[in-house]
Amino acid sequence: MTAERTVAYRRASRTLMASVIPTSAAMASGFAAAAVLAKEITGSETLATVAAAMMQVGSVSATVPLARRMARLGRRRGLVAGWSIGTAGATLAFLAAVADIYPLLIVGICGIGAGNATNLAARFASADLASEDRKARAIGMLVWATTFGAALGPTIALDQAADIAQYMGLPELSGPYLLGMILFVIGLTVTHTWLRPDPLEVLGTIGEAAARPASLRVVGRRIAASPAARLAVIAMLTGQAVMVGVMTITPLHMDNGDHEFRVIGWVISVHVIGMFAFSPIVGWLVDRIGPYLMVALGGVILCIGAETAAHNSAEDSAGMFAGLLLVGLGWSFGLIAGSALLTSAFPVAQRVEMQGGADLLMTGGGAVAGLSSGVIMEHFGFHSFSHYAGLAALLLVAAAATAWYTARQERAEPVPTG
């Protein structure tokens, strides 16, 4: 780490942290209101969960274009573009809440999902200039910074923002999206103004030095050929699917138990605290004890959290607080350990595209889980869905053990001489 690179790293870290606080609040606000608003408009739980799942669909759609834009033009321009789409999405969702137009809400939530994909990409930007032995901690600190926005977002959105909207003569659930519009603009302005020099510019991988983007097939082959990258994708995809599936139907489950909007917002906020607040500790542990054990522990925690939620009635909020907190924490283990594995598995020139491909798979898994959760809930109930989601999380234990054994065998093979 040269002195100039250290200065650029610290400036980039501060700027990214300042940016993701408002943008994560905007994303969380939009998600917290999506299912309840869609149910008010349509009267259908299935359509309500489809609306909430559009957050993941928007993330899937934006992940690869964002990664390619960053690889070609730099992190700053990619992040600003993604959060601009988030602003447009929040605007459309606000109009949908005012006019009771469900298709407009679907498009708006997709746009907010693009903002969410941008938040995810920011964690890799924070690690671009970090030294090899501190990349997990750099990712953990960036994820931790989102705690402040993502945890407060749902509470403010379904409480103060809803009250302000009602005071202005607007529908209560238009408030979260009005708030989201403002917060996305703040985040993209901070990045556009202060993320200079661009991290990828310091590394020399953009501009004339930028390589031609690899196809998705090539990206997939490179990930499949690397044991570390395979485990990284499994960890991030499984954690995202379990977390999104359970989180998507929790507001509906609690709404069926006649909880107030603000109580539902508090539960989502506690869940988000589990996702982000412990990230610096998680990142430090990944660097100290290794990603394999952390992925396995993440699977166990996800399982316990989903099972805790599964054994609570719709009228009981205490069990939902505990279960959703643990689901968020297990997700954090898998995301940070997987992101660190992925970053270290490829050379600098290939990292942005590999990260985009992995995030595509991760958000795709979340989208499938979110879209299917409402149908499964209507036919089998919240408890069955959460129970089987918890069992699926144990896949991470087996995957981590297999990857650890493979890595150990490769290290034990004698180096050929001669």
The arithmetic mean of pLDDT across residues 281-290, rounded, is 90
Q: What is the percent of the chain with per-residue pLDDT over 70, rounded to a whole number?
A: 96
The pLDDT-based confidence of 277 (bands split at 50, 70, 90) is: confident
The arithmetic mean of pLDDT across residues 160-175, rounded, is 93
Predicted local distance difference test score (pLDDT) of residue 209: 47
pLDDT digits (tens, 9 = 90+) for 124-140: 898 899 887 888 888 88
The arithmetic mean of pLDDT across residues 285-292, rounded, is 90
Predicted local distance difference test score (pLDDT) of residue 203: 87
Predicted local distance difference test score (pLDDT) of residue 118: 96
Judge contact between 40 and 220, C-beta under 8 A: no
Judge contact between 118 and 86, C-beta under 8 A: yes
pLDDT digits (tens, 9 = 90+) for 296-331: 999 999 999 999 998 887 777 788 899 999 999 999
The arithmetic mean of pLDDT across residues 40-48, rounded, is 88
Judge contact between 61 and 82, C-beta under 8 A: no
Predicted local distance difference test score (pLDDT) of residue 13: 94
Predicted local distance difference test score (pLDDT) of residue 96: 97
Least confident span in 70-84, 161-175, 228-242, 341-355: 341-355
Type of residue at 353: E
Predicted local distance difference test score (pLDDT) of residue 213: 63
Number of neighbouring beta carbons within 10 Å of residue 391: 12
pLDDT digits (tens, 9 = 90+) for 183-223: 999 999 999 999 999 999 998 887 644 556 677 788 889 99
